[in-house]
């Protein structure tokens, strides 16, 4: 029996989104009408420019693709370098030893520590078909850099990697993304890390041990910027992030995620949580709406000071949304703790002493999540 | 024993997989050199990589690896190689909290084993075949084992087995014992708790409860087995198949209500059993050619609970006011359902296309999935004294939810310095489950209700559109602006639709080699459609929404039509102003020194709310420094101060369903919470210290400190119900101090001796548990507790062991495709 109870607001209230976004007038309701008009025009113009550009792009794509394919064939696997050169004379060629004269530490660590040094793997810079340029596969033609004999500052190679390197992050990343094209990197373009101007080398180390490859050290890389998460991870109740049992990349894909929020590996917060906590998925006979929406409504998965990683202590967390007569709206103060007659809503599991099936219930009597 | 058998089975699987490459005459696998976890409870304190000098491969002699004459390093047969660490650890006292996630919880000696063995190529080998077996924490519940065989660039097949223990509480107290897998039984002579008066309660606790308490440890163990196969199919295609099996068992504390008379529950925290399995499958085909990449995938998740319900004996005598028809004089039994078995099947299509002009790329996701469950319902009651006049409307409920999701993102650089990002995200959670009428029996102790209660599905649609523009000015100064529009449409809740406008601005400034400065600012406004108080409550209880019930709550005919105070605004729907900011600067004055400052500010203000959550603010400030003057010495240190503030308010409505009371601000209470959190850490490395031994010693020191203290201030109106509650709660405090030192002495090229010492002190205080004994809560609102306490410990964890390397030296690196995480 599909019973109609009340009106279906999902159906009745979805229709105006398109108009809402297209007209976009409402976004700045706090602004004066003139300003709103101006902003609206600006956005329209920007959108128009982008649209026009891409219509043109698509129209021309067929011929351009052919050119691009040709270019790619020269610069990707099968060629000697992913960095184009103006002439072959600018390359040093097969000369790892020359590089090692000055960069011995980097060359040694690359060969000893980096998976990208595998000559037997046709996907690595060392193993790609026809590769005979070794360091220059990634750093570009470096004859001028290596053979410089002038008195001034030695010119750098065309591509230098690192967060503070002279080469722009965009150019660095283009080199890496020439080969790293698997599904993990599909959403890199436009991802928060890409838009923030980070380079691959901001997190990864090629010449040395890459901390992102070990579950015991990957969090250290993330914490360098996400300092608030590091503080959360040290709190009394957290996922075992510091222990390396659950790592940042167990849930997140820093290369752009799945396309969903927060660069998560799955398309939503709940789907990510369900990958380990599938018992919470349901669908239950009796749903608890905030559970269905976002686990993070009540939990902070990075850690909190309260049991079950709840954002705030019970019963006060529950009272942020529930204010019904009797015990639900009751004040629970510290005086009762001292008197030794505290309410059960305050001690132990608080409201969950009784409403324990709070993620949803499949019991026919479970409408209030008691059973 | 069962766990040991399970581990044994898995070892056999791993051994079988190891046999595969041997049978096929393969050679050698991978390795990530052992890495040192920073924290604390990491038992692998002694498993550090060998000194660089010992791992020098071809370049140690500066030979030219591309020189054809250098044939010594080029082999078609990859040699067997590896390293094994064998050691012992000693913990000086029992502590569940110290070993919460590792299983190192009992005082005494603990064997330790790490290993990496196999055949894998040197960097300049021509043989791409490899196999490897690696393991960390092999002897602990937190073990990680992986066996992999493959050919680089062609295929890989791996089996991973890992354990994740969770040791929650030791020495909990309960009168219940688990029998028959899901029945929590009281001792036969248990006399029952008398709730008729304070003195009767106290007497029955002393006579019946306390003498029957026994210890129970609350812990779970999750064992995960994962099989993954990757293969390249020609130049453009690849295929990935993953299977993951989770098995979790153990017990956890869970509230279980039996009987409710006049709103006074009779509950018990039970150590209920946990025993479930999750199987997940992912099959994915990938295509990549030129600027087009696509992935087609199927994902399936199958949850199976071995226990579909649990039962427990009543610990109570018949409460005062209890309907005599409910029986349970001196006994009785309750039953509750566990989460239902469920399935989720999803198809995904993901891709990106780099358009050849104007440096434009689009990427997208499209996914459709279906969540289902049809677990047979339990009967209304197992109390034989209660008459069930209305049968269950259905045995198998057939609940199902369609989940449709799509993302589209366009990134364009129409001119080299300008980046435009436009994206749109859609998420539709359409709950298509049927609605039934249930005539409930509340908590197994009331007569069956004569009015129906409806299970109400919950659906929502999320939409998010974003436009951002960034422009790079000279000297790598890159400001940006952005705008996001978020819309949330929900079915059958207080607010049908909310919309949020979010304005963004900021910059990145990364002048070459000197500093890295970033600023992001977000300002958002959220508003919703009209607030219909108690909307969902009315639909569940009456099948219809009646606004009059909200407005005329004093009318006895309608007084039960509202639930929440009309002044409450549920914060997930409430109007909100959001202000977020993040500023960071990293200065690199010399190659050896890095100094960083970081400030994060997040503020949500529910400015139109009178009751409920009113505001929350979080500020985090960090200062960091790194100093690496030489390859032999370096340290990193940081200190973070975080402050969390929250404000909320309520009105005590007692006795209930009286709208006049709902607006009576004499009964207002306001809670403000503030939690300062201090975190600091230090990593200190000194290599090649000469201590008079034939070879030098490497030493690592890491230290961390964390302190959090949550304070709650309760302020109240003058009402007699609320005024006595004013005051400040005791702080909820945790304090962690950790120091770990590791020494590594490489006695020979192949053999290293390692010693590790960890001293860790943890102290906590939480008024939820402090002083709460199993019989503390009663007699009016009775909940038998588990006697939990806030953990405190001060431990020494000392490890020593020997690491031995065999096979050729060098090349102990990760192999391509092999990754220890996730």
Per the CB < 8 A criterion, the answer to whether B121 and B791 are in contact is: no
Q: How far is CA B273 from the centre of its chain?
A: 21
> In this predicted structure, what is the pLDDT of residue B219?
97
Rounded distance between C-alpha atoms, residue A136 and residue B67, angstroms: 17
Q: How far apart are CA B259 and CA B320, in angstroms?
A: 11
The residue among B735, B622, B799 whose CA lies nearest residue B42 is B799
Specify the DSSP class assigned to residue B654: -
Distances (CA, A) of A352 to A245, A328, A370, B788: 28, 12, 9, 15
Closest in B339, B352, B650 to A319, CB measured: B650
Chain A residues within an 8 Å CB radius of B642:
228, 231
> What integer pLDDT is reported at residue A333 of this predicted model?
93
**A104 neighbourhood in chain B, CB within 8 Å:** 59, 62
Cis peptide before A283 (omega within 30 of 0): yes
Distance of alpha carbon B30 from alpha carbon A214, whole angstroms: 13
pLDDT at B553 (0 to 100): 46
Digit-coded pLDDT (tens) for A154-163: 899 999 998 7
pLDDT tens-place string over residues B505-559:
999 998 877 789 999 999 999 999 989 888 888 888 888 887 765 544 444 445 4
| CA B647/CA B617 separation, integer angstroms | 9
**For residue B31, is pLDDT > 70?**
no
Round to whole Å and give the CA distance between A42 and B400: 44
Cβ contact, residue pair B269, A353, below 8 Å: yes
> Rounded to whole angstroms, what are the CA distances from B41 to A241, B52, B348?
11, 26, 39
Give the CA count within 13 Å in the CB-facing half-sphere of A368: 21
Task: Measure CB to CB from residue B785 to each of A132, A333, A348 and give the nearest one.
Answer: A348
Q: Which pLDDT does position B605 carry in this prediction?
A: 98
Q: Is A89 exposed, middle or buried (0-12, 13-18, 19+ CB in 10 A)?
A: exposed
Q: What is the SS3 string spanning B120-170?
A: CCCCCCCCCEEEEEEEECCCCCCCEEEEEEEECCCEEEEEEEEEEEEEEEE
pLDDT higher than threshold 70 for residue B43: no
Closest residue by Cα to residue A298 from A311, A280, A287, A289? A311
The dihedral built from the CA positions of residue B771, B775, B779 and B782, taken in this order, carries a sign that is positive
Optimal mutation site among A62, A276, A323, interface B, most CBs of chain B within 10 A: A323
Question: Is the per-residue pLDDT at B234 higher than 90?
Answer: no
As a whole-number percent, the residues of chain A with pLDDT over 70 amount to 74
pLDDT tens-digit series, residues B239-291: 999 999 999 999 999 999 887 655 567 899 999 999 999 999 999 999 999 88
User: Mind telling me how many Å the CA of A150 is from chain B's nearest CA?
Assistant: 23
DSSP state of B692: S
Shortest alpha-carbon distance between residue A286 and chain B (Å)? 5
Mean pLDDT of B595-624: 97
Residue bearing the bigger pLDDT, B32 or A236 = A236
What's the mean pLDDT when you consider all of chain B? 86
Give the confidence band of A78 by pLDDT, cuts at 50, 70, 90.
very low
Residue pair B392/B380 in contact by the 8 Å Cβ criterion: yes
Whether residue A156 lies within 8 A of chain B, CB to CB, comes out as no
Whether B572 and A334 lie within 8 Å, measured CB to CB = no
- The label of the residue with tokens 């929406």 reads A293
Contact A196 B352 (CB under 8 A): no
Relative to beta strand B342-355, strand B418-431 is unpaired
Asked if B289 and A181 touch (Cβ cutoff 8 Å), the reply is no
Half-sphere exposure of B704 (CA within 13 A, CB side): 17
Two tokens, residue B729: 């709660």
Residues of chain A with C-beta less than 8 angstroms from the C-beta of B58:
111
pLDDT digits (tens, 9 = 90+) for B455-500: 999 999 999 999 999 999 998 899 999 999 999 999 999 999 999 9
Q: Which range, of A349-353, B169-173, B205-209, B768-772, averages the lowest pLDDT?
A: B768-772
Supply the pLDDT for residue B262.
54
Q: Is residue A132 very low, low, confident or very high in pLDDT (cuts 50, 70, 90)? A: confident
Chain B contact set for A268 (CB, 8 A): 405, 427
Q: Which of B33, B114, B136, B40 is nearest to B683 (CA)?
A: B40
Average pLDDT over chain A reads 78
Check A323 against B612: CB less than 8 A apart.
Answer: yes
pLDDT band at A120 (very low <50, low <70, confident <90, very high): confident
Q: Of how many residues is chain A composed?
A: 371
Tell how far CA B344 is from the center of its chain.
20
pLDDT at B65 over 60: no
Strands B782-784, B264-289: pairing is parallel
Q: How far is B694 from chain A (nearest CA, A)?
A: 25
CB crowding A288-314: b at 16 or more within 10 Å, else e: bbbbbbbbbbbbbbbbbbbbebbbbbb
Tell me which chain A residue has its CA closest to the CA of residue B505. Answer: A196
Which has more pLDDT, A5 or B528?
B528
Residue B323 confidence class, pLDDT cut points 50, 70, 90: low
Contacts of A247 in chain B (CB under 8 A): 821-822
Q: Residue A125's pLDDT band (boundaries 50, 70, 90)? A: confident
User: Strand B177-179 to strand B155-174: parallel, antiparallel, or no bridges (unpaired)?
Assistant: unpaired
pLDDT band at A76 (very low <50, low <70, confident <90, very high): very low
Residue B161: count of CB within 10 angstroms of its CB: 23
Out of A187, A244, A283, whose CB is closest to B431? A283
DSSP assignment of A79-113, as one string?
Answer: BS-SS--S-GGG---S-HHHHHHH-HHHHHHHHHH
pTM here is 0.87
Between CA B298 and CA A90 the distance in angstroms is 48
What pLDDT, on a 0 to 100 scale, did the predictor assign at position B589? 86
Q: Which chain B residue is nearest to residue A371, measuring alpha carbons? A: B336
Task: Give the one of A112, A196, A353 whose C-beta lies nearest to B813's C-beta.
Answer: A112
Among A285, A302, A332, A369, pick the best mutation site for testing chain B contact (most B Cβ within 10 A). A285
Q: B658-663: long-range contacts (C-beta < 8 A, 24 or more apart)? A: B658/A325, B658/B553, B658/B554, B658/B559, B659/B552, B659/B553, B659/B554, B659/B562, B659/B566, B660/B554, B661/A325, B662/A325, B662/B553, B662/B565, B662/B566, B662/B567, B663/B566, B663/B567
Top mean pLDDT of B319-333, B527-541, B793-807 is at B793-807
Residue B52 has a pLDDT of: 36
At CA B85, angle to CA B81 and CA B86, rounded to 5? 135
Burial class (CB in 10 A: 0-12, 13-18, 19+), A39: middle
Half-sphere exposure of residue B582, counting CA atoms within 13 Å on the CB side?
Answer: 11
- Confidence at residue B58, expressed as pLDDT on a 0 to 100 scale: 37
Q: Where does chain A have alpha helices with state H?
A: 9-12, 17-23, 33-75, 96-102, 104-113, 136-139, 143-146, 169-179, 192-195, 218-223, 227-233, 248-251, 269-274, 289-293, 335-339
Cross-chain residue pair A61–B620, CB shorter than 8 Å: no
**Residues whose CB falls within 8 Å of the CB of residue B166, separated by 6 or more in sequence, listed in order:** B100, B101, B219, B220, B221, B222, B250
User: Do A78 and A128 touch, CB atoms closer than 8 A?
Assistant: yes
> Chain B within 8 Å of A367 (Cβ-Cβ)?
yes
Model confidence at B137, pLDDT cuts 50, 70, 90, reads very high
Q: pLDDT tens digits, residue range A276-328?
A: 999 999 899 999 999 999 999 999 999 999 999 999 999 999 999 999 888 89
Does the bond joining B655 to the residue before it have cis omega, within 30 degrees of 0? yes
Query: What percent of chain B clears pLDDT 90, i.e. is strictly above it?
Result: 66
The whole-angstrom distance between residue A319's C-alpha and the CA centroid of its chain comes to 33
Nearest to B66 among A13, A96, A243 (CB): A96
Per-residue exposure over B389-406, b if at least 16 CB sit within 10 Å of its own CB, e if not = eeebbbeebebbbebebb
DSSP state of B707: E
Express each pLDDT in B638-688 by its tens digit.
999 999 999 999 999 987 677 788 889 999 999 999 999 999 999 999 999
Q: What is the pLDDT of residue B561?
A: 59
Query: Do the strands B309-313 and B183-185 form a parallel or antiparallel pair, or are they unpaired?
Result: parallel
Partner-chain contact A242 B518, CB within 8 Å: no
Q: What DSSP element (H or E) covers B199? A: helix B198-204
**Residue A344 sits at the chain B interface (C-beta within 8 Å):** yes
Does B280 sit within 8 Å of A243, measured CB to CB?
no
Residues in contact with B465: Cβ distance below 8 Å, sequence separation at least 6, in sequence order: A21, B423, B424, B425, B484, B485
Q: CA nearest B300 in A: which residue?
A: A275
Pairwise CB contact (< 8 Å): A260 & B767: no
Q: Tell me the average pLDDT across B33-47.
A: 31
Closest to B457 in 3D by CA, of A10, A13, A280 = A10
Q: Enumerate residues 6+ apart whose C-beta is below 8 A from B282.
A: B240, B241, B242, B297, B298, B299, B300
> Where does residue B807 fall: left (phi above 0), alpha (psi -120 to 50 degrees), or beta otherwise?
left
Q: Inform me whether the pLDDT recorded for B85 exceeds 80.
A: yes
Q: Mean pLDDT over residues A69-80, rounded?
A: 38
Q: How many CB atoms lie within 10 A of CB A240?
A: 19
Paired with B223 in beta bridges are B163, B247
Instruction: Work out the pLDDT band at B439, boundaries 50, 70, 90.
Output: very high
């Amino acid at each position: 029996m599909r019973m109609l109870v009340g009106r279906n607001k999902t159906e009745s209230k979805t229709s105006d989104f398109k108009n809402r976004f297209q007209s976009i007038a409402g976004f700045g309701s706090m602004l004066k009408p003139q300003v709103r008009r101006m902003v609206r025009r600006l956005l329209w113009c920007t959108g128009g420019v982008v649209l026009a550009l891409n219509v043109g792009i698509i129209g021309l794509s067929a011929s351009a693709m052919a050119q691009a394919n040709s270019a790619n064939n020269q610069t990707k696997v099968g060629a000697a370098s992913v960095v184009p050169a103006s002439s072959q004379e600018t390359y040093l060629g097969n000369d790892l030893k020359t590089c090692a004269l000055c960069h011995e530490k980097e060359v040694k660590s690359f060969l000893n520590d980096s998976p990208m040094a595998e000559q037997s793997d046709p996907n690595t810079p060392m193993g790609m078909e026809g590769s005979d340029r070794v360091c220059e596969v990634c750093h570009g033609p470096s004859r001028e850099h290596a053979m410089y004999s002038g008195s001034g500052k030695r010119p750098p190679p065309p591509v230098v990697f690192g967060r503070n390197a002279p080469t722009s992050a965009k150019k660095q990343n283009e080199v890496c993304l020439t080969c790293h094209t698997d599904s993990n990197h599909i959403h890199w373009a436009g991802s928060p890390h890409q838009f923030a101007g980070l380079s691959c080398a901001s997190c990864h180390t090629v010449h040395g041990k890459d901390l992102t490859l070990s579950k015991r050290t990957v969090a250290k890389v993330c914490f360098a910027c996400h300092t608030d998460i590091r503080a959360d991870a040290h709190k009394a109740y957290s996922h075992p992030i510091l222990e390396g049992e659950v790592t940042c990349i167990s849930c997140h894909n820093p290369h752009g995620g799945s396309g969903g929020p927060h660069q998560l590996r799955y398309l939503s917060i709940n789907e990510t949580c369900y990958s380990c906590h599938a018992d919470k998925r349901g669908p239950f006979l009796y749903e608890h709406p905030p559970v269905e929406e976002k686990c993070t409504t009540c939990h902070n998965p990075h850690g909190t000071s309260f049991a079950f990683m709840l954002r705030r202590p019970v019963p006060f967390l529950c009272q942020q949304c529930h204010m019904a007569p009797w015990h639900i709206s009751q004040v629970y103060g510290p005086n009762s703790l001292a008197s030794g007659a505290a309410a059960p809503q305050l001690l132990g599991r608080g409201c969950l002493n009784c409403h324990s099936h709070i993620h949803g219930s499949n019991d026919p009597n479970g409408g209030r999540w008691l059973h | 024993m069962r766990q040991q058998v399970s581990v044994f089975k898995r070892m056999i699987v791993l051994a079988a997989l190891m046999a595969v490459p041997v049978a096929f005459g393969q050679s050698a696998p991978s390795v990530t050199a052992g890495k040192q976890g920073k924290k604390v409870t990491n038992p692998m304190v002694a498993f550090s990589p060998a000194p660089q000098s010992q791992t020098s491969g071809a370049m140690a002699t500066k030979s030219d690896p591309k020189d054809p004459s250098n044939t010594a390093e080029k082999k078609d047969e990859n040699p067997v190689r590896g390293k094994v660490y064998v050691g012992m650890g000693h913990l000086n006292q029992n502590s569940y909290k110290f070993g919460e996630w590792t299983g190192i919880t009992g005082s005494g000696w603990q064997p330790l084993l790490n290993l990496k063995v196999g055949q894998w190529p040197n960097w300049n080998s021509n043989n791409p075949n490899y196999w490897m077996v690696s393991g960390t924490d092999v002897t602990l519940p937190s073990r990680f084992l992986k066996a992999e065989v493959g050919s680089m660039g062609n295929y890989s097949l791996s089996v991973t087995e890992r354990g994740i223990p969770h040791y929650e509480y030791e020495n909990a107290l309960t009168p219940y014992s688990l029998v028959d897998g899901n029945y929590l039984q009281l001792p036969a002579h248990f006399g029952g708790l008398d709730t008729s008066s304070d003195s009767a309660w106290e007497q029955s606790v002393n006579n019946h409860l306390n003498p029957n308490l026994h210890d129970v440890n609350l812990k779970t163990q999750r064992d995960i087995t994962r099989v993954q196969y990757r293969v390249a199919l020609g130049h453009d295609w690849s295929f990935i198949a993953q299977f993951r099996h989770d098995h979790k068992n153990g017990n956890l504390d869970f509230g279980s209500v039996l009987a409710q008379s006049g709103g006074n529950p009779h509950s018990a925290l039970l150590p209920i059993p946990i025993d479930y399995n999750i199987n997940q499958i992912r099959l994915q085909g990938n295509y990549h050619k030129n600027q087009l990449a696509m992935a087609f995938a199927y994902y399936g998740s199958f949850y199976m609970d071995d226990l579909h319900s649990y039962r427990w004996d009543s610990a109570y005598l018949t409460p005062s006011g209890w309907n005599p028809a409910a029986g349970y004089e001196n006994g009785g039994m309750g039953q509750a359902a566990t989460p239902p078995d469920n399935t989720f099947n999803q198809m995904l299509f993901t891709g990106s296309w780099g358009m050849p002009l104007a440096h434009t790329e689009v990427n997208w996701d499209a996914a459709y999935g279906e969540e289902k469950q049809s677990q047979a319902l339990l009967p209304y009651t197992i109390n034989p004294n209660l008459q069930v006049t209305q049968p269950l409307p259905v045995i198998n409920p057939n609940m199902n939810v369609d989940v449709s999701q799509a993302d589209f993102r366009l990134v364009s650089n129409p001119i080299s310095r300008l980046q435009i990002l436009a994206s749109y995200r859609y998420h539709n959670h359409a709950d298509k489950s049927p609605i039934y009428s249930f005539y409930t029996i509340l908590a197994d102790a009331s007569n069956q209700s004569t009015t129906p209660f409806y299970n109400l599905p919950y659906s929502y649609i999320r939409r998010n559109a974003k436009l951002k523009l960034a422009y790079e000015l000279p000297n790598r100064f890159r400001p940006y602006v952005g705008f996001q529009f978020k819309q949330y449409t929900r079915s059958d809740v207080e607010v049908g639709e909310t919309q949020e406008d979010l304005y963004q601005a900021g910059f990145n400034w990364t002048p070459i080699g000197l500093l890295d400065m970033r600023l992001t600012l977000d300002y958002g406004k959220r508003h919703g459609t009209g607030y219909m108080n108690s909307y969902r409550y009315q639909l569940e209880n009456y099948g219809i929404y009646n606004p009059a019930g909200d407005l005329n709550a004093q009318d006895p005919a309608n007084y039960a039509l509202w639930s929440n105070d009309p002044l409450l605004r549920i914060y997930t729907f409430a109007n909100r102003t959001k202000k977020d900011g993040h500023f960071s600067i990293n200065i690199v004055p010399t190659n050896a020194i890095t100094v960083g400052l970081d400030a994060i500010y997040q503020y949500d203000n529910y400015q139109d709310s009178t009751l409920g959550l009113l505001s929350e603010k979080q500020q985090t400030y960090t200062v960091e420094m790194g100093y690496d003057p030489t390859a032999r010495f370096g340290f990193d240190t940081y200190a973070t101060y975080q402050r969390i503030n929250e404000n909320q308010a309520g009105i005590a409505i007692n006795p209930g369903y009286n709208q006049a009371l709902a607006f009576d601000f004499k009964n207002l209470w306001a809670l403000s919470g503030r939690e300062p959190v201090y975190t600091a850490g230090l990593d200190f490395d000194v290599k090649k210290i000469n201590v008079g031994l034939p070879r030098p010693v490497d030493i690592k020191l890491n230290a961390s400190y964390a302190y959090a203290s949550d304070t709650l201030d309760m302020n109240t109106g003058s009402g007699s119900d609320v005024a006595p509650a004013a005051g400040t709660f005791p702080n909820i405090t945790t304090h962690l101090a950790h120091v770990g030192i590791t020494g590594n002495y490489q006695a020979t090229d192949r053999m290293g001796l390692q010693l590790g010492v960890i001293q860790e002190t943890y102290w906590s205080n939480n008024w939820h548990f402090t002083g709460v004994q199993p019989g503390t809560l009663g007699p009016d609102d009775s909940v038998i507790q588990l006697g939990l306490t806030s953990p405190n410990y001060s431990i020494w964890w000392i490890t020593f062991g020997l690491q031995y390397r065999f096979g050729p030296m060098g090349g102990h690196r990760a192999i391509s495709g092999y990754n220890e995480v996730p």
